[in-house]
């Protein structure tokens, strides 16, 4: 038995004769089956590409977050506990290298004033910030509260 004789029962004409269906119907069904197989294969490859892109994006975002976490000093104090420092000034001081109470206590008032001027912040008065920060860095919270109670807008009355 040769290969051609083996394929004869599988031919469209033989199938059509056996089941009483026109040749063109069998050909159309065969073409539709090929299209369906092609669609399923391309669809799964597109899904794989999409999943790969999403995974790549997720990995990139995680790497960016790791980089951001590494650039933020691990030891930071909440400088907003100092009378006259809000979130915006806290961020500004952090960018200037002042992120702890001890650093603020040792900071030069003229340096802080210059950073505030550069940022266009005119309403802040850092004159008492180092003194307040010294209490905070030493853990003297009651003394800090007493000092802050005697202030108005970060200034001594």
Give residue 126's pLDDT.
Answer: 85
Per-residue tokens: 23: 């040749």
Q: How much is the average pLDDT of 100-120?
A: 89
Contact 128, 99 (CB under 8 A): no
In the predicted model, what is the mean pLDDT of residues 99-107?
91
What confidence category does residue 120 fall into, taking pLDDT thresholds of 50, 70 and 90? confident
Contacts of 148 (CB under 8 A, 6+ apart): 83, 132
By C-alpha distance, which of 83, 81, 78 is closest to 150?
A: 83
pLDDT tens per residue across span 15-69: 666 666 677 676 788 888 889 888 888 776 666 667 767 766 666 666 656 555 5
What is the model's pLDDT at position 106?
92
Say how far apart CA 44 and CA 76 lie, in whole Å.
49
Q: What is the pTM of this model?
A: 0.51
CA-to-CA distance for 127 and 154, rounded, in angstroms? 8
Domain spans of the chain, in order of start: 3-71, 79-156
Length of the chain: 157
Ranges assigned E (strand) in the chain: 151-152, 155-156
């Amino acid at each position: 038995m040769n290969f051609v004789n083996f394929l004869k029962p599988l031919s469209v004409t033989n199938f059509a004769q056996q089941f009483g269906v026109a040749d063109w119907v069998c050909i159309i069904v065969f073409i539709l089956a090929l299209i369906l197989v092609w669609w399923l294969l391309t669809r799964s490859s597109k899904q794989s590409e999409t999943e790969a892109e999403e995974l790549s994006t997720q990995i990139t975002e995680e790497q960016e977050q790791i980089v951001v976490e590494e650039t933020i000093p691990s030891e930071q104090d909440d400088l907003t506990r100092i009378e006259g420092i809000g979130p915006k000034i806290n961020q500004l001081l952090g960018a200037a290298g002042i992120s702890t109470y001890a650093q603020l206590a040792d900071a030069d008032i003229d340096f802080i004033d210059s950073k505030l001027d550069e940022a266009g912040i005119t309403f802040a008065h850092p004159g008492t910030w180092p003194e307040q920060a010294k209490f905070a860095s030493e853990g003297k919270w009651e003394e800090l509260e007493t000092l802050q109670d005697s202030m108005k807008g970060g200034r001594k009355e």
